[in-house]
Amino acid sequence: MMKKWGYRIRGMSIMHQKFSETNSTFSAGSGKFRVNMSISRVNGGIVAVVGGGERSHIGAAAIAVPYTNVKNQLLDSSSSVITLPEHKDDVLARSISEKLAKSLNQVVVVVAGVHVDNASKSDIELLVSNCIECTEKAICHLKKVETKI
């Protein structure tokens, strides 16, 4: 029997579910452009750790909360980000957390750190593309898990 619990955030009720599968890992790309995403379901939401490139690290952390936009009544998300000095991983952490929160209607925390030495603009674009691919894989998988239970 699946247990459900809920609470209200900014006027929106969010139902959280206990799933039999709590941890999943996704990857995209190869070599120094490989990106990995580990997802854990926790009581009250999802925690994702995104790393890759030549060196995974903690560069930024973001928390995103889904809510219903009062103007158009569509699901949206709001986020807060903490970035380590001289890191640019906040862009990844924010975009991934907001996409996951909005797509899955869950509170999401993302810790991100992807690094390639002397990365060119095209290197960065490839890493970002691989992060997007991991995020899409995670959303697809987690939605399938929800429907199976």
User: For residue range 94-135, what is the model confidence (pLDDT) as tens digits?
Assistant: 999 999 999 999 999 999 999 999 999 999 999 999 999 999
Burial of 6 (0-12, 13-18, 19+ CB in 10 A): exposed
What dotted CATH number matches 4-148?
3.30.230.100
Least reliable range by pLDDT among 5-14, 46-55, 76-85: 5-14
Q: Which of 54, 41, 59 lies closest to 106 in space, CA to CA? A: 41
Every domain of the chain and the residues it spans: 4-148
pTM: 0.83
